[in-house]
Structure 1
Amino acid sequence: MDVLLWIIAGVLAAALAFSGVFKLVLPRERYVASQPWAADAPSWAPPAIGVLEVAGAVGVVLPALIGVAPVVVPVAATGLALVMAGAVAMHVARREWSALVPSGVLLVLAALVAWARFGPYAF
């Protein structure tokens, strides 16, 4: 199970690091063109979410990988689950059903890592 959790954490980290960097690097106009929800959000929201996603992506793998403060892993996974729960709620409210699937999958993966690393498979 430990290997599976590492794989899940790696996939979660890769997906959210990509998503977060995308939000941080693209100019607002280009980001809004690809992500319609951002047009209705304050200008600071996508970069702020991007920072949370990148920090969470680092937090779910790096502390355990280097063996320093591995308790950060489930805390970061919990934070990512909260971010993704917000994304799911926003996509439901906007009736963006196609965007709901990736957000929902990432929510489930983050919640699974948080549960497992806080509980039966803690470091």
Structure 2
Amino acid sequence: MTVAYWIAASLLALFYLYGGGVKVVRSRDRLRPMMAWVDRVPLPAVRAIGVLEVLGALGLVLPPLTGVAPWLALAAAVGFVVLQFGAIPVHLTGGDRRVALNVALVVVAAVTAWLATVWL
């Protein structure tokens, strides 16, 4: 279970560190080719989502590594499930029907949340 957690958590953490970091530092024009929804969301909200993604990625990895508040890993994984459940309607209402990645992220985050119960 521990190895499975680290594989799933590492994949999620890498994805969200990159995606969140990009949302934090890039302009709307540079985000648009990757994320069609950025025109429908205020830029401060895009930046806030990016910060939450980076913090969540750190929350998946650092608490289990340090042993300090390991329940935060579970909270981060559940947070990513909630985030993606919010992202799917944003994609669908904007005419962007490509939600396969979002569904895959929900599944991986849910499995990670389940595996994180090993740390509690």
**Fold match by TM threshold 0.5:** yes
1:26-45 aligned at under 5 Å gives the runs 26-45=26-45
Matched residue type, 1:25: V
* Equivalent position of 2:62 in the other structure: 62
Unaligned runs of 5+ in 2: none
1:19 aligns with 2:16: no
Q: Deviations over 1:57-114 (max 9, x none)?
A: 000111101111111100111111111111122112224222x111111111111111
Matched residue type, 2:78: T
User: How many residue pairs are counted as aligned between the two chains?
Assistant: 120
* Equivalent position of 1:88 in the other structure: 88
Higher relative contact order (CA 8 A, sep 6+): 2
1:102 aligns with 2:101: yes
* Equivalent position of 2:111 in the other structure: 112
Task: Return the alpha-carbon distance in structure 2 between the equivalents of residues 17 and 5 of structure 1.
Answer: 17
Task: Return the alpha-carbon distance in structure 1 between the equivalents of residues 91 and 51 of structure 2.
Answer: 20
Task: Return the alpha-carbon distance in structure 1 between the equivalents of residues 31 and 2 of structure 2.
Answer: 37
Identity %: 38
* Equivalent position of 1:76 in the other structure: 76
What is the TM-score normalised by the length of structure 2?
0.91
* Equivalent position of 2:4 in the other structure: 4
| Alpha-carbon distance, 1:29 to partner | 2.0
Unaligned runs of 5+ in 1: none
Matched residue type, 1:122: W
Matched residue type, 2:20: G
